[in-house]
Structure 1
Amino acid sequence: MLLIPCLRRVLPPSRTLVSSLGCGSKSESGRILPPVPLLSGPGTAEPAPSQHWFGTHSAKEPVEPLKTEQGARDFVYSLHSKERKSLLQELQRFESMAVAQEQMEVKPPSSAQRRYVFLHSAIPFIGFGFLDNAIMIVAGTQIELSIGVIFGISTMGAAALGNLVSDVAGLGLAGYVEALASRLGLPSPDLNPKQADMWQTRLSSQLGKVIGVTIGCILGMFPLLFFKAEEEEKLEETKN
């Protein structure tokens, strides 16, 4: 479930807004926008290539869709008019900050800032992992016990169909998860443009996503507790 929104968050963009460290920019309609690359121009300077870890912008990173003209056009056309207006304002603000700090030496983010980035990134993915596993387990079990018996579907086949149901449900629930996470009162990390592009920040964000989705998937296994009780009851009835 949530494969598309999760990949959109996990894949590391080259130069994104500060708000892409966990949740995207928030539009006037309340919807969370995905990360968007900054506008390029003569006033911007490309950072020197450096070695990073966990998919956080390696020096030989392949070209990603939003770096291309077609990818950027497709993304812009997918937005509503209010979202495009909000996005343009944020891009202009962020780019002006980046140009003003271009010649400044900025210290890496502090440990407190990195912890905040970690937490800010982890919270939405706890919800993603929870819904993913919970819906897949419930749907897969019901499919196996119903049409699986009629058509002779194997356990793995039922699990695959349950994952299909989970993915379809994720298309509609992803926005609600992000909106709920944004209502927890955690603003975007207080980082300047240079700190947002540093590998320490990217690494903290990636680790937060990994830990968050791991915790969510573990919590989403709770339906197994109830299914185990039902199986034990059926075995007792069979023995009697």
Structure 2
Amino acid sequence: MLPLLSRIALRPATASLKPWRSPRAGVALSCRALGTHPRKETMEPLNTGPGARDFIYSLHPSERSCLLRELHRFESIAIAQEKLEVEPPSSEQLRYVFFHNAFPFIGFGFLDNAIMIAAGTQIELSIGIVLGISTMAAAALGNLVSDLAGLGLAGYVEALCSRLGLSIPDLTPKQADMWQTRLSAHLGKAIGVTIGCLLGMFPLLFLSGDEEEAKLDKTN
């Protein structure tokens, strides 16, 4: 990094400027820092947005590419060696993780229960009467139909959630592996599938005892 800054400070555009001698260090310094700012102009530090932006704009394309490559390399090494101090996810991030996992499972639970009840009822009233299978066997076959339908509908549920703006939370790898994030994700899935299954019981509102009486009459 230091050689890169040295090259920037000693560009040909600033070579004609008179050097300024520091009374303490006793070395000649350029009157123009980074080749862009006059000596009397106040400069923003690099740990601020404007300062970092001005520094990036002052670089040549090759220098920006080199700096970006070295920054990626540094971050990769730091993460691999676990030398970065990562803060736990904030409450807003945990809430986003919760809803990101809850909404898809609401759809999964809703479709699973609704299809199972509808398919199980139809199987019981048709195949169940012919073959004489029990109600539990019809429910198991209805669950089979629901699982098969879920294989094809899962992608549509995820696509719908993505259109609603539920993208992947912006977390670092270490933050995603923390217990707070895992707990929030599991709670979202559990509560989401519970709500979805309860909503998926709505076909029971359209079923009456007439079907059971018709089945008993046919079996007798």
Q: Shorter-chain TM-score: what band? A: 0.5 to 0.7
* Matching residue within 104, 122, 125 for 1:124: 104
* Matching residue within 107, 116, 138 for 2:87: 107
> Which one-letter code corresponds to 1:181 in the other structure?
C
Following superposition of structure 1 onto structure 2, how do residues 35-184 of structure 1 map, counting pairs within 5 Å? 99-101=77-79, 102-184=82-164
Partner residue in 2 for 1:70: none
Please, what is the CA RMSD of the aligned residues? 2.4
Q: Distance in 1 between matches of 2:116 and 2:76?
A: 43
Higher Cα radius of gyration: 2
Which 10-residue stretch deviates more, 111-120 or 223-232?
223-232
Matched-pair contact (CA < 8 Å) for 1:126–1:215: yes
Matched-pair contact (CA < 8 Å) for 1:98–1:194: no
Q: Structure 2: 5+ residue runs without aligned partners?
A: 1-71, 215-220
Give the C-alpha shift of residue 194 in structure 1: 1.5
TM-score by length of 2: 0.59
Partner residue in 1 for 2:183: 203
Tell me the secondary structure at the aligned position of residue 109 of structure 1: coil
Matched-pair contact (CA < 8 Å) for 1:113–1:189: yes
Query: 1:136–1:105: structure 2 CA closer, same or farther, 3 Å change rule?
Result: same
Q: Distance in 1 between matches of 2:73 and 2:191?
A: 31
> Which one-letter code corresponds to 1:195 in the other structure?
Q
Matched-pair contact (CA < 8 Å) for 1:117–1:189: yes
Following superposition of structure 1 onto structure 2, how do residues 223-234 of structure 1 map, counting pairs within 5 Å? 223-228=203-208, 231=211
1:193 aligns with 2:201: no
Matched-pair contact (CA < 8 Å) for 1:108–1:195: yes
Q: Which has the higher contact order (CA 8 A, sep 6+)?
A: 1
Give the C-alpha shift of residue 178 in structure 1: 1.1
Seq. identity, %: 76
Q: Structure 1: 5+ residue runs without aligned partners?
A: 1-93, 235-240
Q: Distance in 2 between matches of 1:207 and 1:161?
A: 30
